[in-house]
Amino acid sequence: MTEANTSAAGPLVTSQGTTTIASTVVQKIAGLAAREIPGVYDLGGGAARAFGVLRERIPGASGSAGQGVSVEVGEKQAAVDLQLVVEYGVSIADLARAVRANTITAIEQMTALEVVEVDITVNDVHLPGEDEAPAEEQPARVE
């Protein structure tokens, strides 16, 4: 799926002017809506997450709200692809339903675009303790 800018959607054209919504806006809304669901650990594949960590360390770099999200936006409709990392033990089927519903609701309420599809790919499962820093070495008790 590629990203495309929106042209004016039906309800966004009035006698007083036109509102255009960029695809990056829809992408960020989708990413934030997906992250709101408990059980979603992160978005994106391994490379995207690694790049996101580097990007966060650069002062002034934009956030990673759209990481793991691609959108296709038309005049009146949008389609979304999400790449998720889920918490271990969470029902993936239930999680996907909740993420899909929340993403559709957020995009449709905020943009007035009809969301025709939300495809979800689960790339990884986050295990408890996986990203904890190793404990600092304890000083020797005996010299």
78-97 pLDDT per residue, tens: 999 999 999 999 999 999 99
116 inside domain: yes
CA–CA distance from 85 to each of 34, 35, 49 (Å)?
11, 10, 10
In a domain, 132, yes or no: no
Select the more confidently predicted residue: 16 or 50: 16
pLDDT (0 to 100) of residue 7: 41
Q: Pick from 9, 16, 14: which is nearest to 110 by CA?
A: 9
Q: CA separation (Å) from 43 to 66, 79, 132?
A: 9, 17, 19
Q: Is position 18 within any domain?
A: yes
Q: What is the model's pLDDT at position 138?
A: 59
Contact between residue 84 and residue 33 where contact means Cβ atoms under 8 Å apart: no
Residue 118 has pLDDT above 50, yes or no: yes
pLDDT band (50, 70, 90) for residue 5: very low
Q: What is the pLDDT of residue 20?
A: 87
Range scoring the smallest mean pLDDT among 39-48, 101-110, 117-126: 39-48
Whether 31 maps to a domain, the answer reads yes
Domain that holds residue 92: 10-126
Per the structure, the count of domains in the chain is 1
Mean pLDDT of 70-74: 95
Among 54-58, 96-100, 105-109, the range scoring the smallest mean pLDDT is 54-58
Whether residue 119 lies inside any domain: the answer is yes
- The pLDDT confidence band at residue 46, using thresholds 50, 70 and 90, is low
For residue 22, the domain's CATH number is: 3.30.70.1350
* Percentage of the chain exceeding pLDDT 90: 59
66 assigned to some structural domain = yes
* Residue 3 is assigned to a structural domain of this protein: no
Burial class (CB in 10 A: 0-12, 13-18, 19+), 139: exposed
Of the listed ranges 27-41, 59-73, 89-103, the least confidently predicted one is 59-73
Assign 124 to helix, strand or coil.
strand
